[in-house]
Structure 1
Amino acid sequence: MDINYIKGGVTSPKGFLASGIHCGLKKSTIKKDLALIYSEVCANAAGVYTKNKVKGAPLYITKEHLSNKKARAIIVNSGNANTCNGDEGLKKAKKMASLQAKELKLKTDEVLVASTGVIGVPLNIDAIKNGIPELTKKLSKDGFDNASSAIMTTDTFKKQLALEFYIGDKKVTLGAMAKGSGMIEPNMGTMLSFITTDLDISPNLLDEALKTSVKISYNRVSVDGDTSTNDMVLILANGLAENEPITEKDEKYEAFLKALNDLNINLSKNIAKDGEGATKLIECQIFGAKTEEDAITLGKSVINSSLVKTAIFGSDANWGRILCSLGYAKVNFNPETVDIYFESCVGSIKVCQQGSSIDFDENKAKEILIQDEIIIKVNLFLGDEKAYVWGCDLSYDYVKINGDYRS
């Protein structure tokens, strides 16, 4: 099966439009803060949400509206999370949906809601109300770029992708935009992702595919170990590709799942790479584990270690920090069988064998680690399971960014 990446984002599939504007939620008048995704026909829809016990008001409203597994639009604001605002927060999230629905001549429950930004500050619903007419008027096929800009907070670059693949003789397109750079931990932390497709697929299978894909993509990202409150992945599938409907787990379903996984893993890597203050993407590959869950837990322990992250920032081949982080992960393994490698685009080097030091070329290791995408490969020699997880280094700028986040 061929997957072809194309230029674009959430409007690449047939029947989708998008827009993004500045409505006044952010202090800077040049930063967009309100986005809209719209399907010209009714779409099947599904969502996955943060597991934090403290959840933003938009999540409750979106879950409620997705009870029928249908949607036409998603409205998203940045600059304010609309979290920890009590009943007023819920009323405002609902009002965001109803105002947008009225402007689009839709039912309120056809509009999904998302917010991201500062927690515990009342949402300026009047700014959103005043911005919705312009936001709606600017809906277009070219609006994907502005929409992607409008959901950014401390992100340093837009995260959007589009791809094409075939089911039979029908071309199917997937588009997406995501945001996230801090307070990122597995189970959806300060991360939003919105996926569109013109695929014709049943609501139940769309929901299952999304949940399956999230487990091996977004839920394997960690920037700083803080699981946030607001964040979710939403997908809309409007059926305009006119493929033979996917109603069972057959080869058509597997083709879609493969494409969805590819898209989500690439977006996840971009999120990890754009961690607040980050200079390097870290991919930790755990091999030879007894179970996949063990491999995930060990990999997360490595990428969440401040000492590992700072060593990678400094291009220091300090493999002892890696072995140490494996050791406190509460997974049973034998340290005396562990091999560790560092890899990047310029090569690979083994730095630890059977849990002990070996002679290796420090200059070569430095050359490998000075690159901006680093792989830490760990072989446990205990079983046949593996997992890949993604994180980033820890630089001076992380503290600076989070020390004055509200200013």
Structure 2
Amino acid sequence: MLDIKWIRENPEALDAALRKRDAEPVSAELLQLDESRRAHLRTLQELQGRRNDASREIGKAKASGDEQRAKAVMQEVAELKGAIQEGEETERRIDASLNDLVSRIANVPLDDVPVGKDESDNLEVRKVGSKPSFDFSPKEHFELGENLGLMDFEAAARMSGSRFTVLRGKLARLERALGQFMLDLATEEFGYTEVSPPLLVRDDALFGTGQLPKFSEDLFNTNDGRWLIPTAEVALTNLVRDQILDEAELPIRVSALTPSFRSEAGSAGRDTKGMLRQHQFYKTELVSVTTAETSEQELERMTGCAEEVLKRLGLHYRVMMLCTGDMGFSSRKTYDIEVWLPGQNTYREISSCSVCGDFQARRMQARYRPAGEKQATRFVHTLNGSGTAVGRALIAVMENYQQSDGSVVIPEALRAYMHGVERIDRVG
């Protein structure tokens, strides 16, 4: 959430930022509502001041024996009480409208973020590694998986519908190995603390990270007012909600390997084959909580951690800086890491790392006390990234390490997690 004080002082900057995101300007509507609120508060304060004065007048009138005056002022106080109660209800309605409007405004991009409308305007930052060469036509992951007898979309559809997958045998173990490998890297080499968080959260948690109220259709909710997490970012970031931390505690770096659940409401007809876009998938999430001065540096560090996963797996990839029109709602700057998939002959996103500034912290009321300060507090800065998406890493390994006979070689980095298995062959 943006700072209303900043918006008052910088309405043109807000509208310019929204235009960069290909969104409609809102400063005029917002400032008009804000001024109405402030004018109403002034009126309400005047009523409260008059009630206080009148209450004192009652005592003076009674003390002087002027009962008629005391009764008249008591009547006025009763009327003022009613007006104040009505005014306070109006204040709550105005506050709710203003907060709802502000909560739907996307974050302001950093100055170096390229301006554009969609993914075609994203900026390539670097490429790492080389594309594999094959002396045969490489297959897509779902062809490989079905031919191996270890990837079953029909069984998943019978019990759950589309966008679900059943993995069996060594392919299921490979998925588990990838997730464990990523989590071990994050916690043993990159300084993240492992967390096992809830998979169900309440409205406030999703509001805190920016999924609610605007993106409810992308989520799954239960019949008791809870939501399945679309990413562990939600649970991990909310660990600091309603907290005042000491600066010495920062940065906080946490990681979790969890299922994620997404309705994919806006992706009808996209990636319907295979397991690229699923309602349920595993992801190793990275979350950092920092000061304002270190958050952009932390983004580079986090992106490097996610890249290291692909380097260890020997996968070719590129890093893209997302343009303003392709960036997430809460983000100020985002790097997407896109892995090369030879079966599709294209790059596909496998990780997304974002710095959110104090945008989420304001929604969560997450603050820290700077060193040497006793009273003053500041909002923390939050970051999140995939370290990486396990299902897409599985796809990448299958397509990049496939052999002419349809088998899949296990990357060296994963063999210890696979109990020494070096290759996945067709079952039977």
Q: Which has the higher contact order (CA 8 A, sep 6+)?
A: 2
| TM-score computed with the length of structure 1 as normaliser | 0.23
Greater fraction helix:
2
| TM-score computed with the length of structure 2 as normaliser | 0.23
Greater fraction strand:
1
